[in-house]
Structure 1
Amino acid sequence: MTSDPNDTDRRWPAKLYSVGSEPDPRFSLANERTLLAWIRTSLAFLALGVALDSLDDIVAAGHSSFLAFGSVSLGLLCAVGGVRRWWRNERAHRRVQPLSAPLTAVAVTVMMGVAAVLLLALAIAGRIL
């Protein structure tokens, strides 16, 4: 028995795939690659958080845990934002609507800017090497 690619009853999440019509597979695959890029970015932030947390003897007391928490928070934001963006774009493709604005990218950029300013301030104050 062969499976029908248009059988939306078996695809997960059914709530997403039951909407609209099947888009060009290239769009869905590009959307999936973008999600995977967000997941890779999330993993990088999580790894950075683990590394920062292990720098207690190099960074002044309390700062490494604060920086690690910020990095892990960015990782969580990238993972959740990436899935949210994938869902919204897949739904827009299926409904033949415009894609959503990249709000997660803007939020991550702003948070990275704040982190860079804080790290620069700590470096100038001589609190980190």
Structure 2
Amino acid sequence: MSRFPRALYSRGEEPDPRFTLANERTFLAWIRTALALLAGGVALEVLGLDLHPQLRLSASLVLIVAGLLTPALAWIGWFRTEAAMRAGTPLPASPLGPALAIAVTAAGILVTLAVLLK
């Protein structure tokens, strides 16, 4: 039976299953985070809160874009981590933490300004 992605599983040695499963749980946690970002961005705009409209829309778009990019970055992170474990090399750093910190901070600043300027 072939495993996906074949390019990953065809090289290196099989790591301890606990580490592979932990890597998968981390990937799924990032997917949940992406869903929360999407829901927050949609809710912020759809609820039509009495906030400065352009700033509210900007904050919504920041959250939605972050929610759209997170699964792709999570997949790349999962792949790179799994490849490192199979090769016995140090685990790579994830770009997701800093990227999401910047996006959520930007959205928070925009919402704060939208509240203050309504």
Decide: shared fold, TM above 0.5: yes
Structure 1: give runs of 5+ residues left out of the alignment: 1-6
The Cα shift of 1:115 comes to 2.0
Aligned residue runs from structure 1 range 24-43, under 5 A: 24-43=16-35
The Cα shift of 1:14 comes to 0.3
Higher radius of gyration, 1 or 2: 1
TM-score (norm 1): 0.83
Report the Cα distance in structure 2 between the residues aligned to 1:111 and 1:45, rounded to whole angstroms.
Answer: 10
TM-score (norm 2): 0.89
Give the superposed CA RMSD.
1.6
State the percentage of identical aligned residues: 40
Count of equivalent residues: 118
CA contact (8 A) 2:41 2:59 kept: yes
Structure 2: give runs of 5+ residues left out of the alignment: none
The one of 87, 90, 108 aligned to 1:95: 87
The one of 30, 47, 54 aligned to 1:55: 47
- Of Structure 1 and Structure 2, which has the larger fraction of its residues in helix? 2
CA contact (8 A) 2:30 2:71 kept: yes
Q: Which has the higher contact order (CA 8 A, sep 6+)?
A: 2
Q: Which amino acid aligns with 1:85?
A: G
CA contact (8 A) 1:55 1:64 kept: no
Aligned residue runs from structure 1 range 1-129, under 5 A: 10-56=2-48, 58-125=50-117, 127=118
